[in-house]
Structure formats: C-alpha cells, structure tokens
C-alpha cells in the first residue's frame, strides 16, 4: 500500500466536513433502505448514530465507508465530491476513513499481524509481503497503542484466541494506526463485559482527543449519550432528528425513541 | 502445547504419518520399497495428482470446492491430443490445452463470483458439461500418441534427465515433469505464504464478510482462484497425456477422490481459512504410495480405494480434533456428549 497517502490526507487543511452525504438513497431490490439522507460529519466531533433495528444505521455507514454503493446521491470527503463508481473500501482507507465493525473486522483463524495489514499489505512490486516489517509494526502497535503487554498475546496469535474486548482493542488500534481522520465504530460494545465497555468508551474519547472524528453506532443509549457530541436519529431509512445530548437526558432520549416506534 | 509445536513446523503431523507408512511398506514389501525404482516411478506418475492438489489447496483454503477438474483433464487432454496428433502443432497444442483449462476455470470463477452459484453446484454442472464436450468432440475415441517421445514437447515436459551412461540406471529415470512440478509447488508455496493473493485467499476462506470489509475484492480473487485451478488442471492433463502417450475420455475420473483427499489429509481445513502446500504434497505422496504399497504387500488392488477412503476419514477426524476445538465441541454436543468426553448430556 501507499503508506504516505493517509498521513498527507491528515495534513491537508482547509476543509469543513470530513464526510458529507447529500440526498443518498439505497435500495436493496424493492426495499428502500436509505431515504434521501443528508448529513455532515465535522472535524473533531463524536457523532452518535442511533435508531431501531432495521433503521438503516449499518447500511448508512457501509455506504459512507465504501462497502456498498448508494443507489443515488452524492458523497463528499473533505468537501470534495467522490466519484461513486470508484469509491471502495480501499479508497476510503486512502482518504483516511477507517471502520471498526462489531465482529466483522478481524478474521478468526489468521494471525494478528496479517489482520493488521490485510487489504493494504506492505509489499514489493510483485505483490510479495514484507513479513518482517509488517510483524514489527504490528508488534509496536500491539505494545504501545493497545497496551497488550504480558497477557500472552503476540502478533502470531490468532484472533480466535482473543477476548471480545481485546478484539475491539486490536481493531480500534489498527484504525488509529492508519492516521485516519474519521473512525466509524459499529456497536463496539456489544457483548462486552462492563469493564471492557469502559475501555472501549475511553478509546472513543481518545479518538476525539487526538483530533479525529468518530461516527459511533450504538444500541445502548447510555453509552452513546455519554460520549457523543451530537446524536443523529434514524428511523426507517430517514434522518428524523438531531439531538445534542446536553439538551436531553438519557431517559428523555429513550422516551423519544419509544414514541418514534409507536408512531409506526 | 503439543499443538503449538505441530503448528510451528508446516505439515509436521502429515510428514510423520508419511514416514510411518513408508516405514511400514519398507517392512511389508522390502523388495519394492527398498529399491530406487519405485521412487523414480512415483516421480513420473504423481505430478498430475500433485498439480491438481496444489490448485485445490487454494480452492479449499478459500472455503470453496472445485469438482470440475476431472472434466478439465478430459477436455484439455482432448484439445492437446487432437492438436498434437492430428494437426502436428507441437507447442501450440500445449498452449491451447493450457488455455482451455484456464478458460474452463475462468467460467467456473464467473459462475461462483458473479452469478453467485455455490461452487459445489457450479463446478458439478461444469464437470458434466466439459466432460460431455470432450466425449462429443472426440467421438469417444482415444488417441495414441505413438512416437511422441521424438518431439521437443515430450522431451522438455516429460522427458528423462540424462546423467550420462555411467550414472546409475535409476538416476537416468528421473522425469522432467517432477522437476517442473517441484518448481510450480515452490512457487505456489511462496504465493500462499508470502504473497498478497495467498493472504487474500485465506481471509476469504475465513470469512467473505470480513474480507470485503477490509477491502479485498472478493469476486476478483475468486475468479483468479478458479482460473488458477483450471490452468493447473490443464497442465496436469498435458503431463498425463504425454506420459501415457495416450488420451482417453475418462482419464481424469480417478483423480476426484484422490486429489481432494490429498489436500485434506495434508491439513488444509475443510472449513477454509487455513491451507498448507507442504501438507498437500505429503498428502499426495501418501495417497500415491498406498496403491503400490498395498499391492506390493500382497493385498489385491480392490483394497486400494477402501484404504484410501479410510485414511482420508481418519485424517479429517484427526484435524477436526486438533485444530477446530469449537467445532469439535459442537459436534460432540450434537451427538449428545458434553465437551468433556463420554458424559451424556442431561435429558433434553
């Protein structure tokens, strides 16, 4: 991969929004999954994305990060329009957008160092991987950024040997490593013990402290209310509200979402 | 921790099993297995099996399967035999047969990746189609390639290496297809263990979903995968036809079980995500050795398939036990056992 592209992108000043969607539509066959979505993610903010199952949260971030192509609409990254025919996960990586999916970020049977670099391996021009270098960098990240010291985990460990919290740690650590401007988290605290949830939330804050932005999908309203600067509420494929957490308590927020359900 | 050691050296368990079986045959059939000629014979008969198994290592490692390669052996073999014998095209026949294999593989890849048919079904269909084509086009005839050993094609691809008149006889029987196969095996080993393509294949075998999310073009890699398999099967067909100096329509049929068994015996996971070239090669050695060994030990040839099938199953159970602890537990639970052996589960 081109190692410099990510860093250059970070250095580029003078943009207002990291990502902006305008009129994005997504159909799966006849199912209208996203209806005319327009939203912007600014710099240095944590945006919580909430809504019921099937509201379109996951589809939205997949469109945002290049996994799915939208049926219609425009995507701007750093205020520049993206050619949707070319937009892909790889391109999103190059544009410094990283995603951490609930349990789909890491491949179970593969060693950590491969999971770290897959999709953007350090290779020579024939495509052969520089294994030594990849392992060395992965080890540094493991020890320094994630703090896996003395827990019996090495870069050669397979993902299957890790706990749920450790997996999130690896995935988030990988995202941080690539100097991303925007880190998208898809329910990182699902199925984690309380102590590990703490760690992940601290990590989300650290993302902001380091000047990056974060889009955070979460079912647990208390978690997202605690860390988000802004909440975007999705319902049946549409953005129905934007809420500042300081203006609304968790209890009121819960009421609000339940009322949305009743309105169906 | 024993499994740690086993994992550190690629293919170690299967190498040990191979050594045991070899030792056993040296004991039961010393006249055959203690002379060099059986081994030089293996060098000329095993390469087609090994080439097929190498390709299947990638295919199975990616969590897919290819059942169409026996038909490629027939179809590519027919293309080669026809052009080589009837039209005297020499090297062009080689290129055409390889291209035929690549084409069949490419079509398999499109069916699996773009049309979205499970590979088991897609390649079952193409197996019938291309085997049928080979029969129709050849009219069921076989082609005897008499005098083929005079051609440069034969000499370069499957000829014997000449070490001079003073060398031992067995040395002059080492065949070139073994050399080519060894080079291809080494090349594919580097691809699987150190190349981006190999890494992508294993990630795809682990999870298609994760692979897409991390930016692997899953469809493209699957098309490449099946094309590679087709090309290797095409080459196997050429080696086989040249070595036998004969083409016949169902010459590939015997390879279906043996090639898949070699890969799985070698330690490539039936669930995908883990694959080993070294294991596959020793798996081929074992499968290939059984036939000669059993017959030389005094059993009739009818036993060969039975024993191959048995070893195949034992190997699968072994790997399931060693390498897939979760699946093992799930399997035992399904049988009504808890993860701790032997204790029946409480009434359901």
pLDDT in tens, B248-280: 888 888 899 899 999 999 989 888 999 999 999
Handedness of CA B334, B338, B344, B346 (dihedral sign): negative
B213 chain-A contacts, CB cut-off 8 A: 67, 89, 99, 101, 104-105
Handedness of CA A82, A84, A86, A90 (dihedral sign): positive
Q: Spell out where chain A has E strands.
A: 17-28, 31-42, 46-50, 72-77, 80-81, 97-100, 182-186, 213-217, 230-235, 238-243
CA distance B190 to B188: 5
B195 chain-A contacts, CB cut-off 8 A: 123, 126-129
What pairs with residue B110 in β-bridges? none
Predicted pLDDT at A156: 87
* b/e B287-321 (16+ beta carbons within 10 angstroms → b): bbbbbbbbebeeeeeeebeeebeebbeebeeebbe
CB spacing of A90 vs B215 below 8 angstroms: yes
- B197 → chain A, closest CA residue: A127
B209 chain-A contacts, CB cut-off 8 A: 104
Confidence class for position B281, pLDDT limits 50, 70, 90: very high
pLDDT in tens, B114-173: 999 999 999 999 999 999 999 999 888 888 888 777 888 888 888 888 777 887 878 888
Per cent of chain A over pLDDT 70 is 92
Q: Pick the closest to residue A51 from A216, A247, A251 (CA basis).
A: A216
- Which of B215, B221, B272, B276 to mutate to test binding with chain A, by most A CBs within 10 Å of its CB? B215
pLDDT in tens, B22-50: 999 999 988 888 888 889 889 988 999 99
What's the residue count for chain B? 348
Predicted pLDDT at A146: 67
CATH number at residue A94: 3.40.50.300
- A90 → chain B, closest CA residue: B215
CB spacing of B213 vs A118 below 8 angstroms: no
Among the partner residues B190, B194, B273, nearest to A109 by beta-carbon distance: B273
Interface residue B212 vs chain A (CB under 8 A): yes
CA distances from B340 to A66, B154, B328, B332, B333 (A): 45, 58, 11, 9, 10
Interface residue A104 vs chain B (CB under 8 A): yes
Query: Where is pLDDT greater, at A252 or B77?
Result: B77
CB spacing of A127 vs B197 below 8 angstroms: yes
Whether pLDDT at B347 is above 70: no
Whether pLDDT at A149 is above 70: no
Query: Where is pLDDT greater, at B37 or B227?
Result: B227
Among the partner residues B195, B216, B326, nearest to A119 by beta-carbon distance: B216
Predicted pLDDT at B223: 97
Confidence class for position B5, pLDDT limits 50, 70, 90: low
Would you say residue A150 lies in a domain?
Answer: no
Would you say residue A46 lies in a domain?
Answer: yes
Which range among A69-73, A171-175, B54-58, B287-291 has the greatest average pLDDT? B54-58
CB spacing of B206 vs A99 below 8 angstroms: no
What pairs with residue A183 in β-bridges? A98, A214
Query: Where is pLDDT greater, at A199 or B129?
Result: B129
Would you say residue A153 lies in a domain?
Answer: no
- Identify the residue whose tokens are 């890849």: B109
Confidence class for position A245, pLDDT limits 50, 70, 90: confident
Domain holding A235, by residue range, is 3-109+158-263
Total domains in chain A come to 1
* Residues 6 or more apart in contact with residue A106 via CB below 8 angstroms: A115, A159, A167, A170, A171, B210
Would you say residue A152 lies in a domain?
Answer: no
The answer to whether the beta carbons of residues B85 and B202 sit under 8 Å apart is: no
CB spacing of B213 vs A88 below 8 angstroms: no
Would you say residue A129 lies in a domain?
Answer: no
Predicted pLDDT at B252: 84
Whether pLDDT at B219 is above 90: yes
B216 chain-A contacts, CB cut-off 8 A: 118-119
Average pLDDT, chain A: 83
Residues 192-251 of A with CB under 8 A from B: none
DSSP, res B46: S
Q: Pick the closest to residue B234 from B94, B82, B61 (CA basis).
A: B94
Average pLDDT, chain B: 87
Phi, psi of A160 (to 5 degrees): -60, -20
Whether pLDDT at A214 is above 60: yes
Handedness of CA B14, B17, B21, B26 (dihedral sign): positive
CA distances from A254 to A248, B212, B311 (A): 10, 34, 60
CB spacing of B199 vs A127 below 8 angstroms: no
Task: Give the β-pairing of A72-77 and A80-81.
Answer: antiparallel
- Identify the residue whose tokens are 């701007």: A76
What pairs with residue A28 in β-bridges? A31
A94 chain-B contacts, CB cut-off 8 A: none
Whether pLDDT at B345 is above 60: no
pLDDT in tens, B172-206: 888 899 999 999 999 999 999 999 999 999 999 99
Interface residue B196 vs chain A (CB under 8 A): yes
- Conformation bin of residue B194: beta by default, left when phi > 0, alpha when psi is -120 to 50: alpha
Interface residue B183 vs chain A (CB under 8 A): no
Q: By three-state DSSP, how is residue A34 classified? A: strand
Phi, psi of A219 (to 5 degrees): -85, -35
- Identify the residue whose tokens are 């150190």: B194
Would you say residue A133 lies in a domain?
Answer: no
* Mean pLDDT for the stretch of residues A20-29: 90
CA distance B92 to A38: 59
Would you say residue A140 lies in a domain?
Answer: no
CA distance B263 to B275: 9
Among the partner residues B197, B213, B216, nearest to A101 by beta-carbon distance: B213
Interface residue A152 vs chain B (CB under 8 A): no
Query: Where is pLDDT greater, at B4 or B74?
Result: B74
Predicted pLDDT at A3: 43
Whether pLDDT at A9 is above 80: no
Would you say residue A251 lies in a domain?
Answer: yes
Interface residue B216 vs chain A (CB under 8 A): yes
Interface residue B328 vs chain A (CB under 8 A): no
């Amino acid at each position: 991969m081109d190692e410099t592209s990510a860093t250059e992108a970070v250095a580029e000043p003078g943009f207002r929004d990291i990502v902006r969607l305008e009129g994005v539509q997504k159909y799966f066959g006849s199912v209208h999954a996203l209806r005319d979505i327009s939203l912007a993610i600014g710099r240095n903010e944590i945006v919580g994305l909430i809504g019921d199952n099937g509201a379109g949260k996951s589809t939205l971030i997949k469109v945002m990060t290049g996994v799915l192509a939208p049926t219609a609409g425009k995507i701007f990254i750093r205020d520049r329009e993206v050619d949707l025919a070319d937009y892909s996960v790889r391109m999103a990586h190059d544009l410094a957008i990283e995603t951490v999916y609930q349990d789909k970020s890491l491949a179970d049977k593969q060693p950590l160092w491969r999971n770290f670099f897959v999709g953007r391996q350090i290779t020579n021009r024939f495509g052969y991987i520089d294994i030594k270098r990849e392992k060395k960098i992965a080890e540094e990240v493991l020890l320094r950024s994630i703090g896996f010291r003395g827990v019996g985990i090495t870069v050669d460990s397979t993902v299957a040997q890790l706990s749920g919290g450790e997996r999130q740690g690896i995935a988030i650590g990988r995202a941080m490593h690539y100097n991303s401007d925007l880190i998208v988290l898809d329910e990182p605290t699902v199925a984690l013990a309380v102590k590990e949830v703490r760690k992940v939330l601290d990590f989300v804050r650290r993302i902001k402290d380091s000047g990056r932005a974060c889009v955070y999908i979460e079912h647990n309203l208390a978690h997202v209310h605690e860390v988000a600067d802004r909440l975007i509420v999705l319902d049946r494929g549409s953005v129905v509200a934007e809420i500042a957490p300081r203006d609304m308590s968790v209890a009121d927020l819960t009421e609000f979402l339940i009322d949305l359900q009743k309105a169906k | 921790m024993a499994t740690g050691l086993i994992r550190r050296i690629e293919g170690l368990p299967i190498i040990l099993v191979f050594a045991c079986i070899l030792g056993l045959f040296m004991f039961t059939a010393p006249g055959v297995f203690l002379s060099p000629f059986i081994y030089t014979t293996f060098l000329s008969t095993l390469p087609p099996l090994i080439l097929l198994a190498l390709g299947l290592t990638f295919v199975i490692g990616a969590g897919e399967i290819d059942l169409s390669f026996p038909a490629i052996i027939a179809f590519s073999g027919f293309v080669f035999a026809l052009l080589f014998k009837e039209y005297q095209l020499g090297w062009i026949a080689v290129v055409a047969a390889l291209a035929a294999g690549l084409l069949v593989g490419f079509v398999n890849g499109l069916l699996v990746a773009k049309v979205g048919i499970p590979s088991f079904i897609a390649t079952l269909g193409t197996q019938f189609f291309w085997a049928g084509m080979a029969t129709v086009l050849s009219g069921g005839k076989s082609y005897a390639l008499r005098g083929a050993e005079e051609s440069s094609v034969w000499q370069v691809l499957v000829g014997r290496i000449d070490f001079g008149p003073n060398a031992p006889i067995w040395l002059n029987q080492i065949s070139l297809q073994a050399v080519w196969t060894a080079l291809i095996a080494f090349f594919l080993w580097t691809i699987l263990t150190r190349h981006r393509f190999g890494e992508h294949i294993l990630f795809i075998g682990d999870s298609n979903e994760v692979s897409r999310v991390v930016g692997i073009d899953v469809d493209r890699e699957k098309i490449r995968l099946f094309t590679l398999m087709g090309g290797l099967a095409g080459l196997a067909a050429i080696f086989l036809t040249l070595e036998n100096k004969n083409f016949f329509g169902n010459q590939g049929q015997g390879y279906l079980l043996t090639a898949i068994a070699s890969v799985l015996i070698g330690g490539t996971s039936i669930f995908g995500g883990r694959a080993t070239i070294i294991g596959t090669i020793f798996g081929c050695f074992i499968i290939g050795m059984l036939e000669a060994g059993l017959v030389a030990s005094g059993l009739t040839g009818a036993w060969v398939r039975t024993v191959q099938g048995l070893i195949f199953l034992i190997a699968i159970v072994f790997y399931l036990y060693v390498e897939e602890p979760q699946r093992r537990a799930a399997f035992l639970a399904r049988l009504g056992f808890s993860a701790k052996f032997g204790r029946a589960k409480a009434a359901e």
